[in-house]
């Protein structure tokens, strides 16, 4: 968003005359200006609208603008705050800066001084937003998450559908096994939607505590529960104008499901401990690798919520159904990892190419990426061999057989080799080591020890 093209200012001053003159001065320059006379009015205005600049009087009758400053910053961290006061002292100016103001305007001021200060503040807002955008882009580039070329009919059908759905405001449900790229797809959809200029807020539902789930999502009022020391906005409000991604939506508590259903129906919600109805313009994208129909049958997931989320469903195919994409993906991950890890000389050996093709990749894209990165780190010479990838080499005698029969239960392998292989595969598939430890049924320290013992990265 370009703050200069369409910008808005909140004027917080208890003197109606000052509000009026600032409004006239800035409106003449093309700003949308809202004037309020108290700190409370300011906080309310910031709840409902978005402002590029806040002109804040430090003496607001019985209120103190200085005390309200941190709350204002919290509500809109990317707005530039200029404090104004008739009682300008150096100390208050410093204090205001410490609490998040970008500039200081002593009363009385001329329209020229106001314009000058606001223009500078807008420049700082613009810069801050550019930096934030660049950080997101860097993060995406560094994450190696933009391989959307495909030769597989099933994946290309999903991409087409996703691209069409992105342009609408309909909720989207992403389904697919772990590691098939649901998180990455959610961002891809956001960047192609009309909401790309707004925020992308991601919530991993299983990581939310049951007690704080509603407040994290919908916010709470001060005093709503022990520990609620101040009002808090939730993820829904943070996502205003953008997209809220609910990962593993099947983990939502029954009460959070009711709240989400209402929000999907009419875009309204209430904060925990508050009866005021709020509205937010947010697109919901949800993901699950569970069978939600079964969850409905067992009473863990609301059927009406599933219907509401299910308007557009995209099921991301597992790697075994898009084997034609393995060569392209492995080349892609290799090229990126070579640059990032400073090993430009590396290439796959013929045996590695065969092993990559033959491996079933049950952990999907995540497993492929982990295997290739592991190899780029571990490979001692310029050729990457199957053992660097941590996958078995398909032997001639094994041709036609599933490549992992070599480590199958009951084959001619030691228990140790079996354990090593199993741990390596679970780690490759799991999003985190904690996750891998949970799958293996051991604690993180034991996993750490075993990784060291078997030389697994
Ligand atoms: N389009 C893509 N291009 C390149 N890499 C991808 C792509 N999609 C996914 N990946 C890789 O696979 C990894 C897993 O992707 P992602 O987290 O989106 O999967 P998921 O289906 O959400 O998994 P889970 O259900 O376990 O959360 C990513 O970190 C990334 O490395």
Q: For each of the domains in the chain, give its residue range(s) and CATH number, in order of start.
A: 8-135 (3.40.50.2300), 151-317 (3.40.50.300), 320-454 (1.10.8.60)
CA torsion 22-25-27-28 (nearest 10°) is: 170
Query: Whole-number mean pLDDT of the chain?
Result: 87
For 28-87, write each residue's pLDDT tens digit.
Answer: 888 999 999 999 999 999 988 889 999 999 888 888 888 999 999 988 888 999 998 776
CA 315 / ligand 1 centre spacing (Å): 14
Output the CA 189–ligand 1 centroid distance in Å: 14
Tokens of 434: 């904690």
User: Looking at the predicted structure, is the pLDDT value of residue 366 above 80?
Assistant: yes
Query: Measured between alpha carbons, how far is 60 from 15 in angstroms, rounded to an integer?
Result: 8
Q: Buried b vs exposed e over 399-415: b needs ≥16 C-beta within 10 Å?
A: eeeebbebbeeeeeeee
Q: What is the pLDDT of residues 219-275, one digit of tens each?
A: 999 888 877 888 889 999 999 999 999 999 999 999 999 999 999 999 999 999 999
Beta strands 80-85 and 53-57, pairing class: parallel
- Ligand 1 centroid to residue 363 C-alpha, Å: 10
Q: Does residue 178 line the site of ligand 1, with CB under 6 A? A: yes
Q: With beta carbons less than 8 A apart as the criterion, state whether 179 and 367 touch.
A: yes
Measured by CA distance, the residue closest to atom 31 of ligand 1 is 366
Using a 6 Å cutoff on CB, does residue 144 contact ligand 1?
yes
Kindly state if the Cβ of 325 falls inside 6 Å of ligand 1: no
Query: Residue 243: CB within 6 Å of ligand 1?
Result: no
Sheet holding 53-57, edge to edge: 32-36, 8-12, 53-57, 80-85, 103-106
Peptide bond between residue 108 and the one before it cis (omega within 30 degrees of 0): yes
Which residues in 363-379 are b (16+ Cβ under 10 Å) and which e? bbbbbbbbbbbbbbeeb
User: What gap in Å lies between CA 43 and CA 81, rounded to an integer?
Assistant: 13
Interacting residues of 63 by C-beta distance below 8 A, sequence separation 6+: 14, 38, 39, 40
Q: Is 373 in the pocket of ligand 1 (CB under 6 A)?
A: no
pLDDT for position 104: 86
> Considering only CA atoms, which of 353, 364, 340, 352 is closest in space to residue 428?
364
- In what helix (H) or strand (E) does residue 291 lie, and over which residues does it extend? none
Distance 380 CA to ligand 1 centre (A): 28
ipTM score assigned to the predicted complex = 0.98
User: Is the preceding peptide bond at 42 cis, omega within 30 degrees of 0?
Assistant: no
Please enumerate in sequence order all residues whose Cβ is within 8 A of that of 18, keeping only pairs 6 or more positions apart, or say none: 11, 57, 84, 107
> From ligand 1's centre to the CA of 275, what distance in Å?
39
pLDDT in the model for residue 239 = 96
185 in Cβ contact with 150 (< 8 Å)? no
Average pLDDT over residues 99-111: 88
Q: Helix (H, G, I), strand (E, B), or coil: what is residue 368?
A: helix
Q: Is the CB of 182 under 6 A from ligand 1?
A: yes
Q: Ligand 1, atom 5: nearest CA belongs to which residue?
A: 145
The CA-based angle 91-96-102, given to 5 degrees, is 125
What is the SS3 assignment for 4? coil
User: Residue 105 Cα, ligand 1 centroid: separation in angstroms?
Assistant: 49
Locus of tokens 């430009």 = 344
Of 245 and 426, the one with more pLDDT: 245
Give the pLDDT score at 400.
37
* Nearest protein Cα to ligand 1, atom 23: 179
Q: Give me ligand 1 centre to Cα 20, in Å.
A: 53
3-state helix, strand, coil in the chain (%, to 5): 50, 15, 35
Which residue is closest in CA terms to ligand 1's atom 27? 178
Q: 450 CA distance to ligand 1 centroid (A)? A: 26
DSSP 417-444: HHHHHHHHHHHHHSSSHHHHHHHHTS-H
Which of 145, 207, 285, 363 to probe ligand 1 with, by most ligand atoms within 8 A of CB? 145
Confidence band (pLDDT; 50, 70, 90) for 143?
low
Whether the CB-CB separation of 53 and 7 falls below 8 Å is answered with yes
Banded model confidence at residue 137, pLDDT cuts 50, 70, 90? low
> What is the CA(63)–ligand 1 centre distance, in A?
50
Is the pLDDT at 140 greater than 60? The verdict is no
**What is the distance between the alpha carbons of residues 284 and 243, in angstroms, rounded to a whole number?**
6
pLDDT in the model for residue 407: 59
Q: How far is the CA of 371 from the centre of ligand 1 (A)?
A: 14
Asked whether 360 and 402 are in contact (CB, 8 A), the reply is yes
Residue nearest to atom 6 of ligand 1 (CA): 145
Give 317's Cβ-side CA count (13 Å radius).
18
Q: Give, using CA atoms, the residue closest to atom 8 of ligand 1.
A: 181
Residue 178, pLDDT > 50, answer yes
- The contacts of residue 332 (CB under 8 Å, 6+ apart) are 144, 147
Distance 224 CA to ligand 1 centre (A): 37
Using a cut of 0.90, tell me whether the model's pTM lies above it.
Answer: no
Q: Atom 7 (ligand 1): residue with closest C-alpha?
A: 145
CA distance 7 to 139: 28
Residue 404 is classified by DSSP as: G
CA of 431 to the centre of ligand 1 (A): 9
**392 phi and psi angles, rounded to 5 deg:** -70, 150
176 lines ligand 1 (CB under 6 A): yes
**Is 365 close to ligand 1, i.e. is its CB under 6 Å away?**
yes
Pocket perturbation via mutation, ligand 1, pick of 143, 183, 248 by most ligand atoms within 8 A of CB? 183
Cα-Cα-Cα-Cα dihedral sign, residues 317, 321, 325, 330: positive
Mean predicted confidence (pLDDT) in 380-389? 91
**Tokens 């705050």 belong to residue:** 81
């Amino acid at each position: 968003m370009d703050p200069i093209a369409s910008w808005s200012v909140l004027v917080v001053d208890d003197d109606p005359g000052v509000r009026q003159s600032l409004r006239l001065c800035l409106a003449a320059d093309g700003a949308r200006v809202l004037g309020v006379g108290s700190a409370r009015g300011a906080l309310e205005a910031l709840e409902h609208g978005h402002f590029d600049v806040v002109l804040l009087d430090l003496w607001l009758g019985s209120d103190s603008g200085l005390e309200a400053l941190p709350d204002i910053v919290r509500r809109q961290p990317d707005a530039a705050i200029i404090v104004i006061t008739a009682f300008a002292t150096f100390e208050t100016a410093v204090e205001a800066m410490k609490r998040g103001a970008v500039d200081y305007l002593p009363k009385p001021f001329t329209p020229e001084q106001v314009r000058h200060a606001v223009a500078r503040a807008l420049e700082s807002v613009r810069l801050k937003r550019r930096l934030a955008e660049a950080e997101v882009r860097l993060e995406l580039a560094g994450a190696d998450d933009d391989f959307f070329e495909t030769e597989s009919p099933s994946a290309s059908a999903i991409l087409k559908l996703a691209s069409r759905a992105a342009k609408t405001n309909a909720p989207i449900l992403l389904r697919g096994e772990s590691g098939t790229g649901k998180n990455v797809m959610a961002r891809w959809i956001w960047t192609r939607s009309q909401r790309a200029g707004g925020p992308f807020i991601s919530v991993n539902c299983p990581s939310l505590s049951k007690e704080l789930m509603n407040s994290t999502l919908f916010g709470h009022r001060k005093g709503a529960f022990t520990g609620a020391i101040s009002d808090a906005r939730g993820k829904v409000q943070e996502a205003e104008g953008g997209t809220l991604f609910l990962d593993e939506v099947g983990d939502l508590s029954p009460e959070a499901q009711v709240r989400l259903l209402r929000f999907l129906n009419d875009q309204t919600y209430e904060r925990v401990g508050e009866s005021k109805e709020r509205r937010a313009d947010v697109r919901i994208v949800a993901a699950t690798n569970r069978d939600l129909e079964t969850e409905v049958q067992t009473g863990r997931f609301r059927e009406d919520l599933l219907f509401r989320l299910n308007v557009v469903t995209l099921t991301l195919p597992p790697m075994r159904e898009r084997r034609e994409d393995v060569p392209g993906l492995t080349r892609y991950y290799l090229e990126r990892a070579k640059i990032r890890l400073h090993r430009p000389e590396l290439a796959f050996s013929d045996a590695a190419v065969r092993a990559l093709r033959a491996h079933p990749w049950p952990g999907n894209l995540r497993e492929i990426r982990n295997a290739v990165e592991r190899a780029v780190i571990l490979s001692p010479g310029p050729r990457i061999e199957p053992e660097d990838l941590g996958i078995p080499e398909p032997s001639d005698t094994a041709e036609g057989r599933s490549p992992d029969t070599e480590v199958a239960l009951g084959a001619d392998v030691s228990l140790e080799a079996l354990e090593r292989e199993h741990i390596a595969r679970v780690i490759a598939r799991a999003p985190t080591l904690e996750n891998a430890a949970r799958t293996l049924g051991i604690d993180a320290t034991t996993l750490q020890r075993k990784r060291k013992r078997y030389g697994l990265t």
